[in-house]
Copies of this chain bind each other. A is one copy, B any other.
Amino acid sequence: MSDPIDFYFDFSSPYGYLAAKQIDGIAARHGRSVTWRPHLIGAVFPTTGSKPLLDIPLKGDYARRDLPRTARRLGIPFNLPKQFPFMSVAAARAFYWLSDGDPAKARELALALYDRAFGDGEEISNAESVVAVASGLGIDADALRAALNEPAVKERLKAEVNAAIERGVFGSPYIVVDGEPFWGHDKLAEIDAWLESGGW
Contact = CB atoms under 8 A, between A and B. Distances in A.
Count of this chain's copies in the oligomeric assembly: 2
Contact of A170 (B48, B59, B72): B59
Contact of A58 (B48, B69, B193): B48
Given A62-B181, A200-B73, A49 B47 contact: no
A61 B57 CA distance: 24
Contacts of A184: 184, 186
Interface in A95-121: none
A175 B52 CA distance: 23
Interface residues of A, number: 34
Interface in A18-45: 44
A186 B190 contact: yes
A47 B58 contact: yes
B193 A73 contact: yes
Contacts of A136: none
Given A49-B49, A56-B48, A73-B193, A61 B168 contact: yes
A189 interface: yes
A142 interface: no
Contacts of A59: 48, 50, 170-171, 183
A183 B51 contact: no
Interface in A59-109: 59, 61-62, 65-66, 69-70, 72-73
Interface of A: 44, 47-51, 56-59, 61-62, 65-66, 69-70, 72-73, 165, 168-171, 180-184, 186-187, 189-190, 193, 200
Given A48-B57, A62-B181, 18 more contacts: A44-B58, A48-B56, A49-B49, A50-B56, A57-B170, A58-B165, A58-B168, A59-B183, A62-B168, A62-B170, A65-B180, A66-B183, A70-B190, A72-B200, A184-B184, A184-B186, A186-B187, A189-B189
